[in-house]
């Protein structure tokens, strides 16, 4: 072992003579194969025994050199801020919601039909969709062009309208508005969404106490008349969808004009005679439409009566749906 002065690094040039003497004192032989080991500072290195001494330079480190470990810079990971959850509540009274003065710009809630939840979103008033347009069922029945309804689409629409009557008959959406002129479809060019009819209705803003008093003021007679009228209008719609023509162009309607002009009973009297012709086209449709026009149920017409509603479903909605599925399974 060579003596090490503290914390010093020395570089010396050795002559051949002194070099041989110095190296002799540093090595100890371990075997006869000519390999010697230099032991120093706890480090063992294998050296080949020089056959010829030359001028060498020696560098000695008397103290271990340490290199400070620098931490690797890592990119800062962005931490997303938690988004507050929006509480979406079920809408119990939709009319009260849309009549309120303050409406949120976010989701207003959801409506449940027992199987699905339908979110209600406010329509942006500052956006004008010029490409969207609407066409009424009245215009479609009068149209002879590409928008004319096929037989399958007409009966599909008939099942939707009959089912809609049962679902919305106790709401303000259908009061006196179950006619072809009040039923609209969204269209893009010649493409019309016949599976999604819209009902046009205007709601009058009334104080809540006055609105409730008007609803309770209706007598039982008025409610029964309204129920019967809505069924009669459904029957007329079914006649028009069955034939693909509006009732106004039927020749038999001329018999029920007064001075060449229609009156309040013209369409109903025309429909009573028109339904007899349906038997010739398809006997399965005639009793369905006749049930709407003549209301031959044991229960008095009243949508508040569940037995009456069940009778309408059993004689109109259910058979109409079965008829559609039998023709277009």
Domains along the chain? 137-209+219-327 (1.10.510)
User: Which 3 state secondary structure label does DSSP give 2?
Assistant: coil
In the Cβ-directed half-sphere of 85, how many Cα atoms lie within 13 Å? 3
Contacts 24+ apart (CB under 8 A), 163-171: 163/317, 163/321, 164/197, 165/230, 165/231, 165/234, 165/312, 166/309, 166/312, 166/313, 166/317, 168/199, 169/227, 169/230, 169/303, 169/309, 170/303, 170/304, 171/95
Residue partners of 177: CB distance under 8 A and separation at least 6? 199, 200, 201
Distance between CA atoms of 258 and 266, rounded to whole angstroms?
A: 9
Encode the chain (329 residues) as per-residue pLDDT tens digits. Answer: 444 444 443 334 344 444 444 444 444 444 444 444 334 444 334 444 444 545 555 555 455 555 555 555 565 666 666 655 667 788 888 777 777 756 666 788 888 888 888 888 776 655 545 556 889 999 999 876 567 788 999 999 999 999 999 988 887 777 666 889 989 999 887 788 888 898 876 655 555 554 444 455 567 888 889 899 999 999 999 999 999 999 999 999 999 999 999 999 999 999 999 999 988 888 999 999 999 999 999 999 999 999 999 999 999 999 999 999 999 98
């Amino acid at each position: 072992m060579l003596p090490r002065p503290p914390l010093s690094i020395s570089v010396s040039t050795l002559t051949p003579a002194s070099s041989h003497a110095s190296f002799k004192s540093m090595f100890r032989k371990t075997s006869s194969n000519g390999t010697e080991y230099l032991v120093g500072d706890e480090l063992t290195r294998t050296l080949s025994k020089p056959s010829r001494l030359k001028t060498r330079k020696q560098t000695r480190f008397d103290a271990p050199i340490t290199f400070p470990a620098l931490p690797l810079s890592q990119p800062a990971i962005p931490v997303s801020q938690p988004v507050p959850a929006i509480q979406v509540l079920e809408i119990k009274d939709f009319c009260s919601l849309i009549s309120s003065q303050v409406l949120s710009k976010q989701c207003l809630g959801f409506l449940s039909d027992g199987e699905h939840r339908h979110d209600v979103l406010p329509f942006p008033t500052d956006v004008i969709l010029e490409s969207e347009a609407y066409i009424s069922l009245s215009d479609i029945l009068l149209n002879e062009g590409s928008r004319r309804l096929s037989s399958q689409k007409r009966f599909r629409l008939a099942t939707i309208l009959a089912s809609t009557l049962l679902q919305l008959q106790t709401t303000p959406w259908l009061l006196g508005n179950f006619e072809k002129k009040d039923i609209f479809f969204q269209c893009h060019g010649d493409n019309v969404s016949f599976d999604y009819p819209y009902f046009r209705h205007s709601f009058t803003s009334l104080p809540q106490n006055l609105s409730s008093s008007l609803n309770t003021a209706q007598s039982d007679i008025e409610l029964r008349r309204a129920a019967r009228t809505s069924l009669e209008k459904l029957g007329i719609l079914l006649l028009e969808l069955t034939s693909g023509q509006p009732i106004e162009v039927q020749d038999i309607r001329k018999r029920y004009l007064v001075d060449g002009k229609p009156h309040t009973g013209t369409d109903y009297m025309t429909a009573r005679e028109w339904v007899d012709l349906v038997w010739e086209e398809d006997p399965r449709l005639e009793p369905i439409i006749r049930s709407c026009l003549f209301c031959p149920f044991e229960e008095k017409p009243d949508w508040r009566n569940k037995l009456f509603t069940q009778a309408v479903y059993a004689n109109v909605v259910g058979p109409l749906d079965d008829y559609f599925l039998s023709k277009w399974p």
